[in-house]
Structure 1
Amino acid sequence: MTRRKNDTVPKSTAPAPAAEVGDAGKLGKALLVEQVTEATGLTRQQSDAAVSAALQVIVDALSSGKTVGLPGLGTLSVKTTAERQGVRPGTSERITIPAGRKVAFKVASTLKASL
C-alpha cells in the first residue's frame, strides 16, 4: 500500500501509559525525599529534613573549598579556573573571562562500571 500526501495515518486508540514521577529522567528533591521515606521508614517530614541537611552540608563544604566524597557515587571538588580570552557571541568582540572557581565531579569507578 502506498500513501498519498493527503492520507492520514490512523492513530492508536489505546491510552498512553501513565507517566510515573521521575520518568522524565530527573530525580528531583521531592522524589528523593519520597524514596528516602520508603527506604528508611522515617516520616516524610523527617526525610525532608534529613535530605535538606545533607545537601546543605555538601554545599557548605564545597563553598569552603573542601572535597566531598560520596561512596559509590563519586567525588565533588572545587577547581580554580584561569583567566582566559573568549569571544562574545553575536559581536565577535574579544573579551577576557576572569579567573573563578567551579565544581567538578569525578564518578566512582564502581558506579562507572555498573552503567
Structure 2
Amino acid sequence: MNKSDFIAKLAEDTAMKKSDAEKFLDAFVANVKEILISGDKLQLVGFGTFETKERSEKEGVNPATGEKITIAACKVPAFKPGKIFKEELNR
C-alpha cells in the first residue's frame, strides 16, 4: 500500500475528505519526526513505540574495493510494536 492508497482508506474509514485525511497524515508524520528529533519517544498504547536509537561507530568493508572503512556513529529511528499489536498480528 502506498501513501495515496492509505490516504484513501483513511478518508473512507473516517468519513473525511481525502484532502483532510492527507493533511492529517502529513501532520502526524511531521509530529513524529519532531518528537524523535527532540530525543523524546512516542508511545501509542495498543500499537507501539516510536523512538530514536544510537548506533555506535563500527568498521565496515567497501564491497567494491575491499578497503576497510569506518562507519560513523549515528541516530536511527526505531519502532517497537506493542504487545497487543504483536498478538493481533500473530493470530
CA deviations on 1:63-101 (whole Å, 9 max, x unpaired) are 222111233221111011111111111221111111111
Which of 10, 17, 32 in structure 2 is aligned with 1:58? 32
Matched, 1:108 2:89: no
1:28–1:72 Cα change, 3 Å: farther
* AA of the residue aligned to 1:93: E
State how far apart, in whole Å, the 2-side matches of 1:45 and 1:71 are: 27
State how far apart, in whole Å, the 1-side matches of 2:2 and 2:41 are: 23
* AA of the residue aligned to 1:28: N
2:11 is paired with a residue whose SS is helix
Structure 1 unaligned regions, length at least 5 = 1-26
Give 1 or 2: higher strand fraction: 2
Greater relative CO, 1 or 2 (CA 8 Å, sep 6+) = 2
Matched, 1:71 2:22: no
Which of 1, 6, 10 in structure 2 is aligned with 1:36? 10
Give 1 or 2: higher helix fraction: 2
* AA of the residue aligned to 1:83: E
4+ runs deviating over 4 angstroms: none
State how far apart, in whole Å, the 1-side matches of 2:2 and 2:30 are: 15
2:30 is paired with a residue whose SS is helix
Query: Matched residues, percent identical?
Result: 30
Aligned residues: 89
- 1:18-37 alignment, distance < 5 Å: 27-37=1-11
Q: What residue is the counterpart of 1:88 in the other structure?
A: 62
